[in-house]
Structure 1
């Protein structure tokens, strides 16, 4: 996995996100892979809307390190964090189910939070679309670029 493009905009609004996705789609669809790409994002509403409106057939995933930061803010217990990673990195329905059963024992709100993430194909490996040839849902590459540009506060990690 490697980044293909990077954009610097005045703000992360819907107009700028649509501008970015439009040009990314135009660039990538002319390759032999067509729509067989995977966009890994942080659940930013503008990116979600831009992809839905302009490129609904592209694969997309959530960046689980970002999800984990949000998860830790709501559920400040290390055992729950371990179970989150077990569910996110599960490569079989059995392992995923086992993690989810443990999560349900700990707190109902945790299960609801995870259910609100939507489609498991976007955050748990056991449901990933194998045609995308990408099994990544957590990478430090994103942080490296963001840290270089000063876009991430190290205290959140």
Structure 2
């Protein structure tokens, strides 16, 4: 029995060493991978950032790699790290992965680096920043980066994360419902209606919420220029769930599998929409029909 245990332990050690060696080797192959991507897909953006080389060595330590809602996702490999992602919304309200990057940690420096190249790839100019909206969970490094990179863009805070923070000190179904009703309110009158009820029930909760900038979490103050009323970053959660099965892979394998997954998703959604016999996308058409029905109901009451 002890012999079996020893053999099993030695086998696990060899597997772990082999896995670590694969991860380490692929970091060294990142430059070859980058050159191949540029050869096959010359319009893609791929950047690698390294530390300054130590004395007597020819290369520096790998730090960041970038390929072209905002969020970060922890990796499970032996060297850790995180994937930063910029997720957009397609015409049918679906998740559209714009860019992703491997970084050591979710810091102001890594987010600023990532957002700088994102802005270049999307051709975002300072004179048209007002047309852009970023939504996130307000991770500290990301907040600081957005203030530097997109000063005139609209910054929204995911209401689900807002609720999770609120729930730590202020609990109760009624407070939760009032928060979501306030977030969905499209007029200042309706927002004040729900917030006044919250003030009667829990004054401290009301004051805590009102201390947050209303432009970041309630539809009543969102700018109409961007034509979007989204206040949750569910699309980032979709991305995090999709990447879950790749999180322990070595870096090149991870990027390759992620790239294939993105291309497959785009193709499937494109073909699905192409089969629809309608000018308006199904999601938008469903919302339009809902509001038409509500309008008919209101007219029937008058």
| TM-score range relative to shorter protein | 0.7 to 0.9
Counterpart of 1:20 in structure 2 is 114
Matched, 1:93 2:188: yes
Q: Alpha-carbon deviations, 1:33-84, whole Å to 9, x = none?
A: 9421111111112111111122201221111111122222221211100000
Structure number with the bigger relative contact order (C-alpha 8 A, sep ≥ 6) is: 1
Contact preservation (8 Å) 1:40, 1:60: yes
Q: Aligned to 1:138, which of 232, 237, 242?
A: 232
Q: Is 1:111 aligned with 2:198?
A: no
Partner of 2:93: none
Computed over aligned residues only, the root mean square deviation of the Cα atoms, in angstroms, reads 1.9
Against the structure 1 CA distance between its residues 30 and 109, is the aligned structure 2 distance closer, same or farther, given a 3 Å change threshold? closer
Instruction: Give me the whole-angstrom Cα distance separating, in 2, the residues matched to 1:77 and 1:86.
Output: 14
Separation in structure 1 between the aligned mates of residue 117 and residue 202 of structure 2, nearest angstrom? 43
Say whether residues 1:70 and 2:165 are aligned partners: yes
The gaps in structure 2 that reach 5 residues or longer are: 1-88, 90-95, 245-302
* Match status 1:124 vs 2:218: yes
Structure 2 distance, partners of 1:92, 1:7, is: 38
The alignment covers a number of residue pairs equal to 148
Q: Would the aligned equivalents of 2:135 and 2:232 in 1 still touch at CA under 8 Å?
A: no
Larger Rg: 2
1:53 aligns with 2:148: yes
In 2 relative to 1, CA 93–30 (structure 1 residues): closer, same or farther, beyond 3 Å? Answer: closer
- Runs of 4+ in structure 1 off by over 6 angstroms are none
Aligned equivalents of 2:136 and 2:194: distance in 1? 24
Q: Hey, what does 2:82 align to over in structure 1? A: none
Aligned with 1:75: secondary structure? coil
Q: What is the TM-score of this pair, normalised by structure 1? A: 0.85
* Structure 2 residue 149 is matched with structure 1 residue 40: no
- The Cα of 1:139 is off from its aligned counterpart by 4.5
1:94 offset after TM fit, Å?
1.1
Normalising by structure 2, report the TM-score. Answer: 0.46
- 1:22 deviation in Å? 1.0
CA contact (8 A) 2:135 2:233 kept: no
Normalized per residue, which structure has more strand?
2
Gaps (5+ residues) in structure 1? 151-157
